[in-house]
Amino acid sequence: MATAPDLTGRSRELLADRVPFVEATVVRAQVPASVRAGDGAIVLADGSIEGFVGGRCARDSVRTAALEAIRERRSVLLRVLPDGGEPFPEAPGAHVVVNPCLSGGAMEIFLQPRLPDPVVGVVGASPIVSALAEQAGPLGFIVSAGADTSVVAGATAVVVASHGGDEEGAVRAALDAGVGYVGLVASRRRGAAVLEALALSEEERARVRTPVGLDIGAATPAEIALSILAELVRAVRLEGLTAPEPAGCRSGSGGPAPLQTALDPVCGMSVTVEADTPRLEVDGQEYWFCAPGCRDHYAAGV
């Protein structure tokens, strides 16, 4: 079991490496729950858990809610109840799950996503770039600006503001890196010409914004930067824009894969398949269970 100091150090390490995760902290637990207030864990985006937030059944509930918190970029108070337990009232910011395999004892776990600030790679140098860098910080963006496409690496979004430089090369580099938001600072006519020269696929064209930014009638560099950042906020908050996975972690490349899940045929819970997950093989078919009790119950009926 990881201790609080271990988790604190691990959190600092993950934040420094810009790895998304969720801090899970038990804030209330009733006897006979195996956890107590103050116990905690870190849940990574691949579903792995470091620390202690209860037994297998509780962990599966925490894992599911934590991954949802990462996707929705919001904190949640998870209330885990045993089957037949006294219900909690629904409340904003809280989520209730009934876990039929808990031995008893309700618990409340606060899940806080710790997500790295999105990096905006800006190709070029101009008053617009300076305004972007100045305005981005308070909105939770990090601007990485440069004259070449090196700023594309690790970026959630790329803005090409080279004003007649190698715009085609910069857009192509961002698309090839898997960036989901590629903005081109250009007039409609020049932007259309750049895209035509690139001969983009339909999927690639959907990732390019030109003229970049929301249409707010922007004229000055500061106003143009504001319109770009407003569009980026919408892309992150409403459209789910995230940084592309590093090349070493993309599907089929040998990076960490999401944990396998299965449905318990007795209680219907979704369980994560790990080395110690209760398992039964019947006529060559594997079944996985939330707890030994469900496995034994199923075995008795076959």
Residue type, 283: D
| Other C-beta atoms lying within 10 Å of the C-beta of residue 272 | 20
Q: What is the pLDDT of residues 13-61, one digit of tens each?
A: 998 888 999 999 999 888 777 889 999 999 998 888 999 988 877 888 8
Residue 292 and residue 218 in one domain = no
Q: How far is CA 301 from CA 9, 277, 298, in A?
A: 48, 20, 5
Please report the pLDDT score of residue 125 as a whole number: 92
- For CA atoms 8, 13, 14, 15, the dihedral sign is positive
Residue type, 173: A
Give the number of domains in the chain.
3
Strand pairing report for 21-29 and 40-44: antiparallel
Whichever domain contains 159, its CATH number is: 3.40.50.720
Q: What is the pLDDT of residues 170-194, one digit of tens each?
A: 999 999 999 999 999 999 999 999 9
Residue type, 5: P
Residue 132 and residue 76 in one domain = no
- Position 107 in a domain: yes
Among the candidates 114, 148, 177, a domain finishes at 114
Domain carrying residue 74:
8-114
Segments of the chain with pLDDT less than 50 = 1-3, 248-256
Please report the pLDDT score of residue 251 as a whole number: 42
Residue 283 and residue 233 in one domain = no
Please report the pLDDT score of residue 275 as a whole number: 76
Please report the pLDDT score of residue 252 as a whole number: 41
Please report the pLDDT score of residue 249 as a whole number: 45
Residue 18 and residue 59 in one domain = yes
**SS3 category, 288:** strand
Strand pairing report for 157-160 and 119-123: parallel
Alpha helices, H only, the chain: 4-16, 56-72, 127-136, 167-176, 188-198, 202-206, 221-237, 292-300
Residue 109 and residue 161 in one domain = no
Residue type, 94: A
Closest by CA to 109, choosing from 46, 42, 44, 13, is 42
Residue 196 and residue 274 in one domain = no
Residue 12 and residue 124 in one domain = no
